[in-house]
């Protein structure tokens, strides 16, 4: 890793990051209203449904995303009710936001040479999250929410890469031996880390609290006694996707606390890894 920057260089990079976050466009008005409504417990489904029906483009996107997200299901998605039943209201709305974020990323970060690798990594983590969620026997809508979380977790990397003028550097996910230390290393070298930057973007784009927590805590799911279940889902998903890794190595490296908090055993971990390896080659990823 490069040498630690001077204090002035860190301040300059932080200013560039802040400027990039600021100039990124906000969500379109109707998408922003839709996402805000989904987070308001006082909003009823009929109001959200009315908003979607009043915007043909938004309605089309919702049906298209729901259909793609549920590939392999025998159910067809022809109405808003079908879409909500298949995916769940909140994850579906967040998925719309993530889809818009992808369009923005493609446009704003096009100069990043390895951008497609970033999307591939995100899809793999999304698949791992769905597998872990199924092990917890979560309801369908919560499984899909974690699938969306996997897609968005590393978004802060893109801003840092552009700000640091690292446009030809690989964007692949962190290797397993660096998962615990990458945040500390980034802070020491750059003065900030990609989790904090990603959190800023999630707030700007009005993503749900669970997505904000996932982005902020996916490298630090267990801080002393403070455990982040959403962060742990993403954190462990990285290890599930590593074919040369085992649950025993994970327990030896991190101690048993993390898996215990996540209500998993090394046997569960091995099953999740086997499931991922069987699905990943033929998996058609949900749209980002």
**Token code pair at residue 227:** 């455990």
SS3 246: coil
Question: Is the pTM for the entire model greater than 0.75?
Answer: yes
So what's the pLDDT on residue 153?
A: 92
So what's the pLDDT on residue 74?
A: 65
Report strand pairing: 226-227 vs 222-223: antiparallel
So what's the pLDDT on residue 288?
A: 42
Radius of gyration of the chain (CA): 19
Q: Is 283 in contact with 127 (CB distance < 8 Å)?
A: yes
> pLDDT digit of tens for each residue in the chain (288 aa)?
455 678 888 888 888 888 888 888 888 888 888 777 776 755 667 777 777 777 777 788 778 777 776 655 666 778 888 887 777 778 878 888 888 888 888 888 888 888 888 888 888 999 999 999 988 888 887 888 898 899 889 989 888 888 888 876 666 667 767 777 888 888 887 788 899 999 999 988 888 888 999 999 999 998 888 899 999 999 999 999 887 788 888 777 777 788 888 888 889 999 999 999 988 855 444 444
Distance of alpha carbon 111 from the chain centroid? 22
Q: Which domains does the chain have, with CATH numbers?
A: 7-26+112-279 (1.10.3210.10)
Q: pLDDT tens-digit profile of 188-231?
A: 877 888 999 999 999 888 888 889 999 999 999 988 888 999 99
Give the Cα separation of 275 and 13 in Å (integer): 41
Q: Is 242 exposed, middle or buried (0-12, 13-18, 19+ CB in 10 A)?
A: middle
Q: At what angle do helices 29-39 and 89-108 cross, to 10 degrees?
A: 140
Q: Is 147 in contact with 5 (CB distance < 8 Å)?
A: no
State the alpha helices, DSSP H only, in 139-285: 140-152, 155-163, 182-190, 194-204, 209-217, 229-240, 247-254, 257-261, 266-279
Comparing CA positions, the residue from 204, 200, 195 lying closest to residue 228 is: 195
Q: At what angle do helices 266-279 and 229-240 cross, to 10 degrees?
A: 60
So what's the pLDDT on residue 237?
A: 93
């Amino acid at each position: 890793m490069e040498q630690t920057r001077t204090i002035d260089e860190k301040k300059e990079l932080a200013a560039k990051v802040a400027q990039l976050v600021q100039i990124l466009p906000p969500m379109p008005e109707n998408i922003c209203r839709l996402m805000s409504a989904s987070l308001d417990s006082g909003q009823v489904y009929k109001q959200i449904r009315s908003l979607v029906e009043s915007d043909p483009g938004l309605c089309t996107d919702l049906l298209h995303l729901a259909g793609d997200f549920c590939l392999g299901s025998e159910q067809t998605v022809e109405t808003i009710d079908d879409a909500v039943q298949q995916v769940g209201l909140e994850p579906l709305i967040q998925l719309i936001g993530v889809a818009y974020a992808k369009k923005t990323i493609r446009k704003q970060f096009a100069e990043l040479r390895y951008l497609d690798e970033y999307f591939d990594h995100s899809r793999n983590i999304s698949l791992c999250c769905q597998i872990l969620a199924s092990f917890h026997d979560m309801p369908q809508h919560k499984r899909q929410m974690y699938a969306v979380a996997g897609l968005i977790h590393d978004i802060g990397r893109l801003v840092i890469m552009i700000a640091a003028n690292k446009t030809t550097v690989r964007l692949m996910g962190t290797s397993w031996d660096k998962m615990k230390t990458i945040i500390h290393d980034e802070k020491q070298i750059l003065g900030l880390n990609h989790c904090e930057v990603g959190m800023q973007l999630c707030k700007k784009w009005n993503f749900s609290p669970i997505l904000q927590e996932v982005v902020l805590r996916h490298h630090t799911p267990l801080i002393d006694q403070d455990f982040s279940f959403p962060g742990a889902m993403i954190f462990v998903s990285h290890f599930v996707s590593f074919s040369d890794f085992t649950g025993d190595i994970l327990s030896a490296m991190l101690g048993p606390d993390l898996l215990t908090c996540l209500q998993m055993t090394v046997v569960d971990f091995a099953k999740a890894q086997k499931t991922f390896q069987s699905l990943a080659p033929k998996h058609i990823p949900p749209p980002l």
